[in-house]
Structure 1
Amino acid sequence: MWALLFVMVRVGAAFVFAPVFGNVSVPLPVRVALSGAIGVLVLGANPVTPPAQVFALATFVAVAAEALVGLALGFVLQIAFAAPLIAGEIIGGSMGIGFANMIDPNSGRSSPAIGQFLSILLTLLFLSLDGHLVLVDMVLRSYRALPPGAAWLTAGQLRDIALFGGYAFLAGLLLALPVGFLLLCLNLVLGMLSRSAPALNLFAIGLPASLAAGVVALAIAFPAMGDFMLVIVREGLDMTQRLVLR
């Protein structure tokens, strides 16, 4: 039982930050039961030896190292899943509906409606690619590359995680680029019209035009955005693999 609880620290920490598993809509007993089931698989596939004493300083340090590895595995994927929220902020602000917020089922916090829609779409693509199974496989492999007792992440690995944080902004910008560029051109045209014809009430024209152009642009750009979301999922999984198999 002590060995199982020790293994569940890394698995549970990974599921706290990982997408899908870390959603607030997933009940806590389900997470615990899932961590225990995967912990049994880990004990069957890898010879894990827990610390001899439960209440000891070395045990607390080993538990902290296990939690750090698990949080790193889940956090890397969570960085990739932040790209749709950034893209939703850009698109929603350009369309004039940045105030349209909804409760995100993944985090339980308020987020833009467009960003939440793109995030749900990315989650469905993640599940269709068996990303959740790949994550479980990465957790199992992490016990070979980072066995208990030698599970501290190196400075290079921590640097790679920090540098990968910039990928969320890059991917969010590229994801919003087709729609955002069209809306930027529309805003430029409306700006020139407002300078050339100040008597026109462009506020009554600009918002409906931005909404209509944004909806049409989203409908046209959905295939390209879906293909790029697949790239985002693969980049997140590849980064997780490099973190484990370094």
Structure 2
Amino acid sequence: MFPQGFVGIEAQLWLWLLAMVRPGAAFLAAPVFGAPYVPVQLRLIVALAVGIPAAAAVPFAMPDGGLVTIAGAMMVFGEVLAGLALGFAVQIGFSAALLGGETIGNAMGLGFAGMIDPASGSSSPALGQLLSILGTFLFLAMGGHLMLASIIFDSYRALPPGQGWLGAESVRGLAMFGGTVFAAGLAIALPVGFALILVQIVMGMLARSAPSLNLFAVGLPATILAGIVLLAIGAPTMADAITASLQRGLDYAMQIAMGR
């Protein structure tokens, strides 16, 4: 498929460019790879390293006029759509950690404490950032980056370039899968969030029994202290919930790669 020698060097470069499109789009939408702190040059090299053997493993033909024709543009668009769907499915599973951290932060009264998220460049709650960093460590520890590369490679078999498009059912299923991020985020925040709600109920009962008690001066430090202790106790359970959410995202990306 790949021409040899300097005679077909231009055609080979066009093939390499097409092979980079799907992995590059997937890495752009996926966690860790798509972060602003990851150099673009490194992302392109990884996309090329994944795309060349994947494209060489399946037979496909370039359009007669190349990629600058309408047929070529449609082929590139299909590759971009497939790559974004694969990366976005993993990103949905990763976003549950950030949502869980925001829920716990609001329950602790730390919703106002924010910091710049290096992964997105925007401001996010401090606890959401903490769980997001934890999710990044777990994603790398479980080999999620290698699993994503394997999923992209396998997607070329069911969805070869120019011959396989994501159907309307696949796109609808991806949108419906996005709704699971709320359930996963609540599952991550449940061990700490529910206990914090009980602490706030106790603080409310104290405020009713002793009206002279300054609830803001007493309740906020008590809630923050209880939240820190509960975070330390519930860290293993929260880590398991984050890992399960990441695994669901990778599993759904595999379903998309299989053309389901």
TM-score tier after normalising by the smaller chain length: over 0.9
Secondary structure at 2:115 match in 1: strand
What does the per-residue CA deviation read over 1:18-73, in whole Å, with 9 as the maximum and x for residues that have no partner?
11111110011111121122222223323343223232111111111110000000
Q: Does structure 2 conserve the Cα–Cα contact (< 8 Å) formed by 1:6 and 1:50?
A: no
Instruction: Indicate the RMSD between aligned Cα atoms, in angstroms.
Output: 1.2
Q: Does structure 2 conserve the Cα–Cα contact (< 8 Å) formed by 1:66 and 1:151?
A: no
**Matching of residue 74 in structure 1 with residue 65 in structure 2:** no
Q: Does structure 1 conserve the Cα–Cα contact (< 8 Å) formed by 2:93 and 2:249?
A: yes
Superposed, 1:1-246 pairs within 5 Å as 1-54=13-66, 55-245=68-258, 246=260
Q: Does structure 1 conserve the Cα–Cα contact (< 8 Å) formed by 2:192 and 2:230?
A: yes
TM value normalised by structure 1 = 0.96
Aligned length: 246
Q: Does structure 2 conserve the Cα–Cα contact (< 8 Å) formed by 1:17 and 1:74?
A: yes
Tell me the distance in 2 between the aligned counterparts of 1:181 and 1:119. 20
Q: Does structure 1 conserve the Cα–Cα contact (< 8 Å) formed by 2:159 and 2:257?
A: yes
Tell me the distance in 2 between the aligned counterparts of 1:159 and 1:43. 27
Secondary structure at 1:111 match in 2: strand
What does the per-residue CA deviation read over 1:173-203, in whole Å, with 9 as the maximum and x for residues that have no partner?
0100111011101111111221222111121
Amino acid at match of 1:36: L
User: Greater shift after overlay, 37-46 or 87-96?
Assistant: 37-46
Structure 2 unaligned residues grouped into runs of 5+ = 1-12
Tell me the distance in 2 between the aligned counterparts of 1:50 and 1:132. 30
Tell me the distance in 1 between the aligned counterparts of 2:194 and 2:140. 30
Tell me the distance in 2 between the aligned counterparts of 1:233 and 1:53. 42
Structure 1 residue 226 displacement after superposition: 1.1
Q: Share of identical aligned residues, percent? A: 52
Structure 1 residue 130 displacement after superposition: 1.0
Tell me the distance in 2 between the aligned counterparts of 1:149 and 1:51. 9
Tell me the distance in 2 between the aligned counterparts of 1:176 and 1:139. 31
What does the per-residue CA deviation read over 1:115-167, in whole Å, with 9 as the maximum and x for residues that have no partner?
11111111111111111111111111111101112232111111110111111
Q: Does structure 2 conserve the Cα–Cα contact (< 8 Å) formed by 1:8 and 1:35?
A: yes
What does the per-residue CA deviation read over 1:59-90, in whole Å, with 9 as the maximum and x for residues that have no partner?
11111111000000000111111111111111
Structure 1 residue 215 displacement after superposition: 0.2
TM value normalised by structure 2 = 0.91
